[in-house]
Amino acid sequence: MNCIVRRLLPVFMLWTAVFTLAAPSQAQNASVTTRAAITVLDSTKEQDGLLGSVRRVKTETAKIDLKDGRPVEGPPQLVEITTYGIRGNRVENTSYPIKDAVVGKEEYKYDERGNITEMTVRDERGAILSREAYSYDFDKLGNWTRMVTSLVVFENGELKREPIEVTYRTVTYYYDDTVAKIAEEPKPEPKPEPVPTAPAVPEPGNVQLTDQPVPDPGALSTPAVSVQIDSEPPPVFIPVKSVASVAKENTDNTEANANGSYLAGRDFLAQHKDREAIKAFKDSLKLNPDDAEAQYGLGFANFRMGRFRDAADAFKKASVLSPRMAKAHYGLGLAYQELGMEKQLIEEYRVLENLDRTLAKKLAETFPQFNFSCRVVKGCP
């Protein structure tokens, strides 16, 4: 195995990704197109922002074009299919990343659940280039099934949203108590539409009389009304929030912003935008320094950029915050090897032997020059 391949192998194994080619779509007298498929298993349904007993998620997207001034959806394009185990871990995943041209720095805003609500693109000087807004439809368990991406435009003196893309998610669930209650809910019976009846038409020559008095035209004028205004208006009481409630709101906002930055970092990792991912994870950790997952993401992005010292520091912090996070110890072992810290590498191998023998085996196979099975035994020559 040559030097370049040996250095790339840990990155692939750390990401737990397998790159393949999707089946090419062919058309007569047209060129063959392929899209790279990526498999990412290092995640859970909770980390992916999903609620309930999710079994499978299929994501498709379609561009929206204006035709004769009306928005028209284009053909759907498969983005990702992910299957989760009964405990929420990813067991199968195929993603087809859609690469868009990078035109500037992207800034995101999120709601309290971590869904993107707005994205602003700025140039290198910080000036705004464009802005997008996102709206969602949710199913009964709280997962979004439809997301509309709109371009924020200024027209006739006011801001408007112009739809440019729609994303659909088909969410499949395991049958549990929550699903059972939803499935057993009685469906409302449709109300019968009223049968229209023809109005009664008087016969020719007959006049229908009414016993209602005819109003006097002179009585239709509005009489004068005398209104007495108090010299002093009644006091207005404005409710004041307690210190505890304000503190709780600030805490909730901080957690939401931290989670939003963490999710942005994960998105950047999937797009191989490591610099942006590092910034997002650092922003998340400023608000929530005890987030082991954000520390792990920061370590991974630094490792992929060749910043092995920074990667080791982040992986170490993740392993301290969550001592049983096997992937953090695995990443730390890889970083130690790149830094030439053989003793620390062997120690991480020992930890993985107790936490996750599969990752311990991967670590040993990645660096066959180290006889791990021998070195972890005291007295072995």
Higher pLDDT, 248 or 137: 137
* Domain presence at residue 131: yes
pLDDT of residue 371: 66
Q: Is the pLDDT of residue 285 over 90?
A: yes
Q: Is the pLDDT of residue 277 over 80?
A: yes
Span 335-362, average pLDDT: 90
Residue 156 shares a structural domain with residue 277: no
What element of type H or E holds 59? strand 54-67
Average pLDDT in the chain: 76
> Are 134 and 152 a contacting pair, CB within 8 Å?
no
* Domain presence at residue 221: no
Residue 251 shares a structural domain with residue 366: yes
Residue 145 shares a structural domain with residue 275: no
* SS3 (DSSP) at 64: strand
* Domain presence at residue 214: no
Of 42-56, 156-170, 243-257, 339-353, least confident by mean pLDDT is: 243-257
Residue 48 shares a structural domain with residue 150: yes
* Domain presence at residue 259: yes
pLDDT of residue 286: 93
Give the domain-ending residue among 143, 162, 178.
Answer: 178
Q: State the total domains in the chain.
A: 2
Higher pLDDT, 70 or 85: 85
Residue 45 shares a structural domain with residue 170: yes
**pLDDT tens-digit readout, 153-187:** 998 889 999 999 999 999 999 999 999 988 887 77
Could you say which DSSP state residue 221 is in? S
Q: Is the pLDDT of residue 256 over 80?
A: no
CATH code at position 305: 1.25.40.10
Span 82-107, average pLDDT: 80
* Domain presence at residue 11: no
Give the domain-ending residue among 160, 178, 196.
Answer: 178
* Domain presence at residue 154: yes
pTM above 0.85, yes or no: no
**pLDDT tens-digit readout, 168-177:** 999 999 999 9
What element of type H or E holds 19? strand 17-21
Give the domain-ending residue among 119, 148, 178.
Answer: 178
Residue pointed to by tokens 């005890």: 290
* Long-range contacts formed by 153-162: CB under 8 A, 24+ apart: 161/133, 162/66
Higher pLDDT, 133 or 111: 133
Residue 272 shares a structural domain with residue 361: yes
